């Protein structure tokens, strides 16, 4: 097996060693420049190309993929539609596209929440990217999604191609519950990459609209934002008292295990939120918006809580901060659900069946 990918320069050596330890024979990891990517994306607006494709275009990565394919490959497994162009010209091999979710719908959600002229830019991306996603689905041998909800959207937007559902898994050992005594009953936590626009919007909305309601009832409540690459709109939220922008940490599980409540206040989302699964695996009560929870195979009120607006979201967090028994019972149920539905062992078996089925086609 070979892997070609983008990687942050500081992480290249560690990532390469990690992949090699997993049995990957050839690794081609290329540094990614956000500055250059943004310039390419902006210039693409002068034409008809989705800016997502221009953003992730790299001649170096293209050469690496071409080189690996020339050395002998039966199947290319591609993650994210933006990576599809790297194997478009590959002949004589099977190709699987792991969409995970339809990115075009995410841009459509951005457009709905924005004002002109930004709305027009997001709407253009939703339209052009959906057209591209359709061409990918027609040219690849399988289209993979993380949930039945995402698969249903795909069937609606791109009829005629039957998707495959392959759910995410969770490392149950890595995200194991810690001792109850280690949890701080005042601590609320959010985890995620903090340069990702939906995450930025989520923590800003929570800090500005929801947290003040919580602190009126629980003045000592504290909101920790855990994740790398915090942008300026995130960093400015830090006050050292009610909001702490923690930044990058070695293990997010450590922060989950010492917090009382995990929140997923996303207003724009697609696919399954790993942050929700990981918090549930750590036996934490999670409060999420409907869009953040809709693809999670869990029962609201039993395995997690789903609240649609600021007032109800805040009220739910307050109730959990005040009720240790409810936090514990919900956390135990959440962990059990993850063990039942999101073990990697079950996912790996389904992946093997998919690979065998695609490679066996004549």
Domains 33-169+344-359 and 180-341 share a fold: yes
Average pLDDT over residues 36-63: 95
Mention the CATH class of domain 33-169+344-359: alpha beta
At 177-186, the pLDDT tens digits run 999 899 999 9
362 confidence band (pLDDT: 50, 70, 90)? low
CA distance 170 to 176: 10
State mean pLDDT over 196-216.
97
Reported pTM: 0.91
pLDDT at 89: 86
Give the model confidence (pLDDT) of 133-187 as tens digits: 999 999 999 999 999 999 999 999 999 999 999 999 999 999 999 998 999 999 9
Give the pLDDT band (50/70/90) at residue 15.
confident
Encode pLDDT of 292-316 as tens digits: 999 899 999 999 999 999 999 999 9
Tell me the average pLDDT of the chain.
Answer: 94
The pair of structure tokens assigned to 40 is: 């390419």
Residue 10: pLDDT above 90? no
The tokens of 75 are what? 């199947």
The pLDDT assigned to 90 comes to 87
Second-level CATH architecture of 180-341: 3-Layer(aba) Sandwich (3.40)
CB-CB contact of 322 with 296 (8 Å): no
Q: Mean pLDDT over residues 85-102, rounded? A: 93
pLDDT tens-digit profile of 25-49?
A: 999 999 988 899 999 999 999 999 9
Contact 89/25 with Cβ under 8 angstroms? no
Average pLDDT of span 242-251: 96
When pLDDT is cut at 50, 70 and 90, the band that residue 270 belongs to is: confident
**In the chain, what are the domain boundaries?**
33-169+344-359, 180-341
Q: Is the pLDDT of residue 92 over 90?
A: no
């Amino acid at each position: 097996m070979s892997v070609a990918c983008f990687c942050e320069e500081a992480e290249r050596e560690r990532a390469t060693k990690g992949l090699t330890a997993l049995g990957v024979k050839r690794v081609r990891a290329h540094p990614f420049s956000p500055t250059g990517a943004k310039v390419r994306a902006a210039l693409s607006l002068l034409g008809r190309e989705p800016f997502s494709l221009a953003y992730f275009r790299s001649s170096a990565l293209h050469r690496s993929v071409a080189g690996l394919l020339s050395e002998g490959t039966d199947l290319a497994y591609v993650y994210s539609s933006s990576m599809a162009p790297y194997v478009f010209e590959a002949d004589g091999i099977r190709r699987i596209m792991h969409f995970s979710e339809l990115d075009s719908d995410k841009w459509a959600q951005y457009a709905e929440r924005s004002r002109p002229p930004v709305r027009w830019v997001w709407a253009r991306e939703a339209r052009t990217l959906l057209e591209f996603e359709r061409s990918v689905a027609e040219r690849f041998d399988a289209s993979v999604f993380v949930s039945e909800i995402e698969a249903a959207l795909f069937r609606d937007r791109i009829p005629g191609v039957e998707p495959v559902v392959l759910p995410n898994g969770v490392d149950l050992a890595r995200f194991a519950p810690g001792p109850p005594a280690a949890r701080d009953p005042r601590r609320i936590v959010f985890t995620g990459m903090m340069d990702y626009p939906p995450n930025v919007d989520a923590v800003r909305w929570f800090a500005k609209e929801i947290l003040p309601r919580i602190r009126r009832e629980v003045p000592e409540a504290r909101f920790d934002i855990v994740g790398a690459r915090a942008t300026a709109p995130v960093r400015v939220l830090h006050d050292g008292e009610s909001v702490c922008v923690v930044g990058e940490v070695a293990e997010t599980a450590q922060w989950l295990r010492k917090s009382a409540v995990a929140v997923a206040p996303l207003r724009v989302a697609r696919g399954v939120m790993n942050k929700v699964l990981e918090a549930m695996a750590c036996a934490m009560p999670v409060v999420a918006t409907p869009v953040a929870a809709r693809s999670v195979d869990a029962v609201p009120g039993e395995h997690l809580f789903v609240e649609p607006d600021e007032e109800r979201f805040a009220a739910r967090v307050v109730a959990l901060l005040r009720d240790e028994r409810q936090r514990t019972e919900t956390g135990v149920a959440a962990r059990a659900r993850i063990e039942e539905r999101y073990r990697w062992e079950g996912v790996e078996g389904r992946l093997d069946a998919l690979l065998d089925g695609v490679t066996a086609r004549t």
